[in-house]
Every structure is written in C-alpha cells, then in structure tokens.
Amino acid sequence: MALVIANGLLAGAEIALVSVRRTRLDMLVSEGRRNARAVARLRQEPERFLATIQVGITVIGAAAGAYGGSSIARDLEPLLQPVAGEHADGIAFVLVVGGISFLSLVLGELVPKSLALRIAETYALWAARPVLALSWLSRPIVWILTKSSNVILRLFGDKTSFTEARLSPGEIQQIVDEAADAGAVPHEVGKIASRAIDFGEMTVAPFMVPRHRVVGLKKDASKEEIKRLVLEQGRARMPVYEGSLDNVVGYVTLRDLMALLLDGQLLVLGDALRKPLLVPESMLAVDLLDTMRREHVHLAIVVDEVGAMSGLATLEDLVEELVGSIASEHDWSAVDFRLEDDGTVAARGEAGVHALNRELDLGLPEGERFTTVAGLTLELAGRIPSQGETFETDTGAIIEVIEVDTRRILAVKISKSTPPPAAEAT
C-alpha cells in the first residue's frame, strides 16, 4: 500500500508541476512564496524532472509487482488451498496482480491526478523540493535514459527530444478561439492572433497585386508623363522599368517624386530611383515581412520561376493581412468589393479570394492555380463564362457573373447558398 501511495504522489506531482500557469508561477516567485523557485527550476528543465518522475513511478511499479507476486501471493496461497487445490498458487497470483493493478490505477493514478488538477498550485509547491531532491539523486540514470530515448527517436527521423511538446497550428488556433470566446482576450485581438497563425504558412502569392493591375513608370518617361501617372494613380510607390515590366530596375516613392518635382530638380527618374527587392512567388509571407523590415523597403517585385514579373507586394498588403484593411488617406484606388444591402457581395474580378475570406468570412476555396475571384470562377467554369451564369463552390458559395468581356471576368456577385427548408412532419 505504501508503494501505491508513493506512486500516486509522484503521478500527482507530475500533473501539478506542468499545470501551474507560467504567469502565475512568475508572480509566486516575485512574491517570494516558499518553494516557488523550486517549481520554477523544475519547469526550466521539463525533460529532466519528467524523466525523474517516470523513473520513480517505474521503480515503484516494478517493486510493487515483485513484492506482490512473491510475498503476498505466497501468503494467500494457503488460504485458497482448501478451495482451489493444486491451482491455488496460480489463482493467488492472479488475484494479487489484479488487486495491485486496481489499487495502482485508482489510488496511484486517477485519484492523485484528479486532485493535482484541482489544487495544482498548492500541490506543486508542496512537491517541488522532494522532486528536486529525487531529480538530483537519480541524475545519472535520468541522463542515460534521456540520451537513449533521443537516439531512438532520431532513428525514426524525429529531431526533437522525447519530452518536447509540439503544438500544431490547428491546436494553437483552438487555444486562441477558446481564449476569445471565454473573454480572456478581446475578440479583435483573437482575430489578429488567428490571422498571424495562418500568416506563418502562407506564401507571397495571395497578397501580391497581380501583374495586369501593376502600373509602372518607364525609366525614360518625361516629366509630363510622370505627373500624369502620379496624379491618375495616386499610389505611394510605383515600380520603374526598362522596356517591359519584366525588367524592373527599381521603384520610386510619391514623396520623393513630389519633392523633386516641386523643387524643379527632377531631370530623369533615375534621380529618385530606389533599389528593387525581387522575391519568388514561393517565398513565405512572414519571410518577406522580415526581409522588408531588415532592408527598410516597402515594396517587393514578385517574380516567377523564369524571372518574369508576377506582381508586386507591399508592406501595407502584408500588415493588412494581420490587422485587416487599412484605408489610407492617399489611397485613391477603386474598392475591390463591397457588401450589398441584401447580404450579397459585389466584387471586381481581380478581387483577391483570400482578402474576401479574411474580411467577410465567405469561405471561398483557395488554391495554387488562382488567387482572384475571376480565377476561381474560371476554375469552376472551365471556360470564359457568359453574363448571368452562376456557379456553386464546394463550400456552398454561389458566384454569379455580372460583367464579362471576351477575355476576362470583370465583376461577380457572391452569395451563400441557403439550405432547402426542412420538410414538415405529417
């Protein structure tokens, strides 16, 4: 019984020590609570203290089994002899093993772990020093077991340690959602955190302005051409090219251009040219954001595998993916989509599918073969559709073609499909 209780104390200590919140533990340490530093030391080396507890539980379990199988079964055998005869020793062994297993599960695992979850902080503070002492005593054994376990894991291609926890993006997303639903964080903060989780796995392609929408300046453009394009487009930054957009030589900012134009110092665009940042379509968005931060640039030219321009991405595009759309006082470009009074969404063909999902939660399918609503519609139709045609996605959204020319889809209307009314019971 003493061995079972010892097993329970260790099992409870394991749960309690990992259940204490990090923020609460830091508070206890700052308050000078007794044993709080011991808990913090154990939490700093989870691999070590978890292995220590497992060693203790294993040794206790082996000792309980050996003692029960030899001593208790031998004492029980004479009592069963009159009833079981020659089978008394086997029955005694089965009864002892069953009894020890039952007690070990109930008193050695379930009860102490349940208590540890309910009073995790108190239990952890009480158990910290004994576990720390046991960890020191069993250090050689723990070291051997840890190294052996890690070697075996590496044979299976796993480069992590055997106690290293790995949360998937989906699990982190669930934690964020639960925190927002419980009111632990504001819903807007939860939305930003959710976007950040998705952001870490996305490439540049969904954020970029596609090539056919890119407006650039020829390097040899005259002052009049520059003024006209700047006034027409009102963009904060514009790429500069020689020959075609596949040969971007840099970019200019509206601020630099206006300063030189007003001072009468602009002779050629090269006077205001900044070095371009060229990135592949496959580059992760988070890597591009980090590169822009380090290089102090706000615009990147996205190229395909043969070096041809696919589009451009701006720092604003990346930030908007995290915090939502930001309306600039200098942004004169047309709105890509709008929510109608009847609940449908009117969108330009070049509106990004990802942006629509992010802002309006439409649940439109996203894929590598398309990034815009026009691309999605073409994927569904398999051809250039006619005005008025409708298509339903596998996620239940209905896309109606509103405007189309001979080569491309100009505008669509998007709505959610409504499920048919349930049949009335007769």
Give the domain-ending residue among 323, 351, 375.
Answer: 323
pLDDT tens across 387-422, in order? 899 998 888 889 999 988 878 888 899 987 554 444
Q: Which residues of the chain fall below pLDDT 70?
A: 1, 64-78, 80-81, 83, 85, 157-168, 234, 260-268, 324-335, 417-426
* Same domain? 195 vs 220: no
- Residue 362 sits in which domain range? 337-416
* Same domain? 6 vs 139: yes
Strands 237-241 and 217-218 turn out to be parallel
Give the domain-ending residue among 323, 356, 383.
Answer: 323
* Residue 272 is assigned to a structural domain of this protein: yes
CA distances from 44 to 295, 314, 409 (A): 36, 41, 58
Helix (H, G, I), strand (E, B) or coil at 402: strand
* Residue 426 is assigned to a structural domain of this protein: no
* Residue 377 is assigned to a structural domain of this protein: yes
* Residue 412 is assigned to a structural domain of this protein: yes
Instruction: Give me the phi and psi of 89, to 5 degrees please.
Output: -65, -40
* Same domain? 38 vs 137: yes
Pick from 9, 40, 218: nearest CA to 125: 40
* Same domain? 227 vs 252: yes
* Same domain? 365 vs 319: no
Burial of 116 (0-12, 13-18, 19+ CB in 10 A): buried
Q: CATH no. for residue 238?
A: 3.10.580.10
Please give the single-letter amino acid code of residue 178: E
- Give the DSSP letter string of 310-333: EEEEEHHHHHHHHH-----TT--S
Strands 345-348 and 390-392 turn out to be unpaired
Q: Which long-range contacts (CB under 8 A, 24 or more apart) does 122-125 make?
A: 123/12, 123/13, 123/16, 124/13, 124/16, 124/17, 124/19, 124/20, 124/39, 125/28, 125/33, 125/34, 125/35, 125/36, 125/39
* Same domain? 305 vs 364: no
Please give the single-letter amino acid code of residue 115: L
- For residues 221 and 243, give the distance between their C-alpha atoms in angstroms, rounded to a whole number: 11
What is the structure's pLDDT at 278? 92
Pick from 313, 396, 384, 397: nearest CA to 347: 397
Burial of 223 (0-12, 13-18, 19+ CB in 10 A): middle
Report pTM. Answer: 0.50
What is the structure's pLDDT at 422? 47
Helix (H, G, I), strand (E, B) or coil at 412: strand
Q: CATH no. for residue 392?
A: 3.30.465.10
* Residue 23 is assigned to a structural domain of this protein: yes
* Same domain? 367 vs 255: no
What is the structure's pLDDT at 280? 92
- For residues 17 and 6, give the distance between their C-alpha atoms in angstroms, rounded to a whole number: 16
* Residue 422 is assigned to a structural domain of this protein: no
Pick from 365, 375, 228, 241: nearest CA to 312: 241
* Residue 238 is assigned to a structural domain of this protein: yes
* Same domain? 192 vs 100: no
* Same domain? 25 vs 115: yes
* Same domain? 243 vs 378: no
Say how many domains are in the chain.
4
* Same domain? 123 vs 220: no
* Residue 164 is assigned to a structural domain of this protein: no
- For residues 379 and 321, give the distance between their C-alpha atoms in angstroms, rounded to a whole number: 25
* Same domain? 121 vs 151: yes
